[in-house]
Amino acid sequence: MNSTLTPMPLSSVHPTPDSPWGTYLMQVDRVVPYLGHLARWVETLKRPKRALIVDVPIELDDGRVAHFEGFRVQHNLSRGPGKGGVRFHPDVTLEEVMALAAWMSVKNAAVNLPYGGAKGGIRVDPALLSRKELERMTRRYTSEIGIIIGPHSDIPAPDVNTNPQIMAWMMDTYSMNTGTTATGVVTGKPIHLGGSLGRVKATGRGVFVTGREAARRIDLELTGARVAVQGFGNVGSAAAELFNQAGSKIVAAQDHTGTIYNDRGFDMADLTAHVKEHGGVGGFKGAEPMKDEEFWDVACDILIPAALEGQITAERARRTKAKLVLEGANGPTVPSADDILAERGILVVPDVICNAGGVTVSYFEWVQDFSSFFWTEDEINVRLDKIMIGALRRIWDTADRHRITLRTATFAVACERILTAREERGLYP
């Protein structure tokens, strides 16, 4: 035996410390001291099990042929089939999808779902495609990754710029290729195709439920609390609506259309109607516009980054006035910013538990599809709240015991579960 052998680095990516994959690797390194004898398996967490890069050619409406690059990464399958969304975005890269898949492994284990982690994406701006072009691209991508997805192997779901209609096209394509109606191959589907009630707002509800629990822990009263939300899609808008119903004031919002502010708080019904009509918060007459970078200076009690990864940098972490950060997006805080927020006494509820409501209700949908028995929305919400609160309390106990941040504690709980499964399954052959 050669004791000097060291793991070879991945040749396919060259991450920087603040890149998505670099951020994930640093998060794993920080949890190693709390893994005990399982630390011998930690390299498992630093390598995706499988990464598929596919060409997605389609015929455009004008007769030209366009090619798009697509990805599906399965990070770890030790605890069950892969589970994770598909995003359509012009900035999608293999490294980003690897990180998102890895965070899904941690997220699923953190709430103790019987899943591994996976993620997918296509590098495209879907706003530039017609509906027919979008459908052709979705179906071709599904056919290309069909060799690794399936109800028992890898179950995609909506993510950035994807929705129930795209999931319906994916389900239909997979079903046509396999000769059977396989409703369980994706989640986040339309209700009448096997979707689950409560799925659309589940991620935002999870942000609210974990945020409410965290606010109690730090004696932050939600009534009158000032909330700033970055990203006003399904996650940010649902979380904002629930905080508003709890008595909080949503004073700032930012998305791709602009940044708005109202010191008295938005009228949420008016803002929701505006976003539905105009596609974003920009131009909302019930608020004042402000420069995008000024969003990070807003006086607020709760900050909800619910857009893309890497948004809270070290410089922005020094500026924020929030007492509580609830990560609705995946990987919104870079490690250097994490350290600054901790030093400033600002509590961060990390993405891998805070936004796990979506995948939890996706799990409910998957179970309902197999049983062909569907629950009411009230039943969904009760089950979701119970799982989210129980998972967060287990993580908080770990954080208190080791005197570590909630992020490191979440990774400690999740990685222990993943690596225990890896150890007990053993290596084959």
Q: Quick one: three-class SS letters along 8-64?
A: CCCCCCCCCCCCHHHHHHHHHHHHHHHCHHHHHHHHHHHCCCEEEEEEEEEECCCCC
d(CA 416, CA 130): 46
Element spanning 260, H or E:
strand 258-261
DSSP class of 312:
B
Collect all residues with Cβ–Cβ distance below 8 Å to 195 and sequence separation of at least 6: 164, 167, 187, 188, 189, 365
d(CA 13, CA 152): 29
DSSP 105-173: HHHHHHTT-S-EEEEEEEE--GGGS-HHHHHHHHHHHHHHHTTT-BTTTEEEEE-TT--HHHHHHHHHH
Active site residue 119: yes
Q: Which two tokens stand for residue 351?
A: 């993405």
Tell me if 343 sits within 8 A of 405, measured CB to CB.
no
Q: Which two tokens stand for residue 332?
A: 């919104």
Backbone torsion region of residue 180, taken as left when φ is above 0, otherwise alpha when ψ lies between -120 and 50, otherwise beta: beta
- Strands, sheet with 258-261, edge to edge from the N-terminal-most edge strand: 288-290, 258-261, 249-255, 226-230, 302-305, 324-326, 347-349
Q: How many CB atoms lie within 10 A of CB 382?
A: 12
Backbone torsion region of residue 295, taken as left when φ is above 0, otherwise alpha when ψ lies between -120 and 50, otherwise beta: alpha
Half-sphere exposure of 229 (CA within 13 A, CB side): 34
d(CA 186, CA 162): 12
d(CA 297, CA 291): 11
DSSP class of 280:
S
Options 83, 107, 119, 201, the catalytic residue: 119
The pairs formed by 275-280 with CB atoms below 8 angstroms and a separation of 24 or more are: 275/232, 275/237, 280/232, 280/255, 280/256
Q: How many CB atoms lie within 10 A of CB 33?
A: 12
d(CA 303, CA 354): 13
Bridge partners, 58 (sequence order): 66
Residues marked active site are found at: 119
